[in-house]
Chains A and B, each alone.
Chain A
Amino acid sequence: MIVADRKPLKEILEMVGDSKKVLILGCKGCVTVCNVGGNKEVGILASTLKIARAKEGRPLEVEEKALERQCDPEYVDQIKDIVEDYDAVISMACGVGPQFLSERYPGKRFFPAVNTTFFGGAVQHGIWEERCAGCGACGIHHFGGLCPIARCSKSLLNGPCGGSADGKCEISKDVVCIWDLIVKKKMEEGHLDELMIFRPPKVWTTARDGGPRKSVREELVQ
């Protein structure tokens, strides 16, 4: 899923500015699963903003809503009858949400309440980790099913570098050296020879480096 973290409240309050009536719009997709932008978090943010503004003597009227997804026009459409009622709309979806909203409702201002961070999964309840960098050319099968692009701090394809110590990355003892895991896995499997294969420079054109990307499935396009 796409993982995000809520922005500091100070930043959100600054975005809201002098608005008197806002809509906080959650998303029932990824951000609900990673507990940052679903119904629940919309409620918490709404209450928090109301408290903060009440404290300043500038009460804020807040409406709460969550769309099935903010990355599909048909769902974004669902607020067309109410969007004009608000001074501002705060989206709690990933970075896609406020953009789809801005594109659909050109005259309105949409603010992101979360910082979109990475593609990952929950390694345990409450902890998410990055797993994919969306490079557009998956080769994890060469690396024991572990992605060095997303998970090595230097994205080495011929690692590990000299900074690997006790299974940890040189940047922090809290970061696993993915190359340590790759090497150990290959050694256990008796496939060290696979790591002796020179991995040539990666073709980054399929990644963000090739410019904004688009997927077209002709059979679906009308």
Chain B
Amino acid sequence: MRLSYPSNVKIIQVPCSGRVDILHLLRAIEDGADGVYVAGCLEGECHFLTGNVKAKKKVQYVKNVLEEIGIEPERVEMFNLSSGEGPRFAEIAKEMVERIKELGPSPVKIQKAA
């Protein structure tokens, strides 16, 4: 499968979405990312039982924090898909890029550039 996904998505591999931490997500925003999302396994299919469920809660935490300080929580998202779903992976990447484009650049980045 030679599936293409938007080149502006930078992929960071982790052993399990459960490894993703609140700080990882926040630091990405802090450093100027316009959006950040976690792609975890389907719920109920985590090799480590609940890694993806934990990731989902951390994503929600970051969404709440962003909302509190006036940044669109939609910039952060959690997706679930199985490792065999290559097309879905590409689809999600496009979907997220579309969403962020609609939101525009992160206010953090705008100010940093100014």
Contact = CB atoms under 8 A, between A and B. Distances in A.
- Contact between chain A and chain B defined by CB under 8 Å: yes
B68 A50 contact: no
A6 B26 CA distance: 17
Given A55-B107, A55-B108, A47 B26 contact: yes
Nearest to B107: A55
A9 interface: yes
B27 interface: yes
Interface string A31-54: 000000000100110011011101
Nearest to B112: A54
A54 B69 contact: no
B114 interface: yes
A56 interface: yes
A17 interface: no
A57 B107 CA distance: 9
Contact of A9 (B30, B69, B107): B69
If over half of A's interface residues share one DSSP class (helix, strand or loop), that class is named, otherwise mixed; here it is: helix
A13 interface: yes
Contacts of B29: 47, 51
Given A54-B111, A55-B107, A57-B114, A47 B69 contact: no
A44 B30 contact: no
Interface string B71-114: 10000000000000000000000000000000000011001101
B70 interface: yes
Interface of B: 22-23, 26-27, 29-30, 65-66, 68-71, 107-108, 111-112, 114
Given A48-B65, A51-B69, A55-B108, 14 more contacts: A13-B69, A43-B23, A44-B22, A47-B27, A48-B26, A50-B30, A51-B26, A51-B29, A51-B30, A54-B30, A54-B111, A55-B69, A55-B71, A55-B111
